[in-house]
Amino acid sequence: MGIWFTEKQTASFGITAKIKQTLAAVKTDYQELQMIETEEWGNMLVLDDMVMTTEKDEFVYHEMVAHVPLFTHPNPKNVLVVGGGDGGVIREVLKHKSVQKATLVDIDGDVIAYSKKYLPTIAGTLDDERVEVKVGDGFMYIAESDREFDVILVDSTEPVGPAVNLFTQGFYAGIAKALKDDGIFVAQTDNPWFKADLIHQVYKDVKEIFSVTKLYTANIPTYPSGLWTFTMGSKIHNPLKVKEERFTEIVTKYYTPELHFASFALPRFVKDLTE
């Protein structure tokens, strides 16, 4: 039958993938890290037994975290990525010519190092001259920033371990302070099948701080349930009012200008979480 990796997404449900070999298995200062070569999804990064990204479907998540807010903002120059040590969001951010600087802050330097080694197509732009990589606490980095960034992207794990503080209203208030007067932020906010309460609470918290708050979705097959949500908080700019000429040509595999708008069309049970 071979060797299989299973992520238990709830106490009674999980997904499984047949693996060729384990490339690395280490205990970092913050979490258990595994790099697994799978037959279906290519190399897979696993943290604390949760799938973080795979070579085959990573483009969906990384494109949707980055391009929706970066095309919503009329001229993003200074971008911060909190988490995202695999480098995928940074790779997408750099596709925008207006971006002059992209800062990555991840608490676990081992995620960055192992991603560079085993996920080069994802992490390959971390050495770009426009990128500054910092190993540190994203929560504290945000708290110490003031009106500095045009766009902040929170590419965190699920709200466990070191990522717990990244799902609090205090963190979102800190983000608002760290953003310029027309700034935008996006955070991944898990799935509506198993984490409905989390999505509802995050949306409520963000809406109390940002004048424009929107939820959007994407299909990511290796994430719990396959249906994933992202929550946007914007001080001024509305992602549903982006003009056609704003969409400059970039190379993508999932994101399109049409999908930019369509991703905000929510199934009824998901829309209910925003009310």
Distance, CA of 275 to CA of 270 (rounded, Å): 10
Give the pair of three-digit tokens for residue 102: 């992209």
Selected catalytic residue, list 57, 86, 150, 155:
155
Q: Tell me the two tokens of residue 100.
A: 């002059």
Over the Cα atoms of the chain, what is R_g? 18
Report the half-sphere exposure of 224 (CA within 13 A, side-chain side): 22
- Catalytic residue check, 155: yes
Q: Which residues contact 58 (CB under 8 A, 6 or more apart)?
A: 86, 88, 122
Pairing of strands 227-234, 179-188: antiparallel
Q: Any idea which residues carry the catalytic annotation?
A: 155
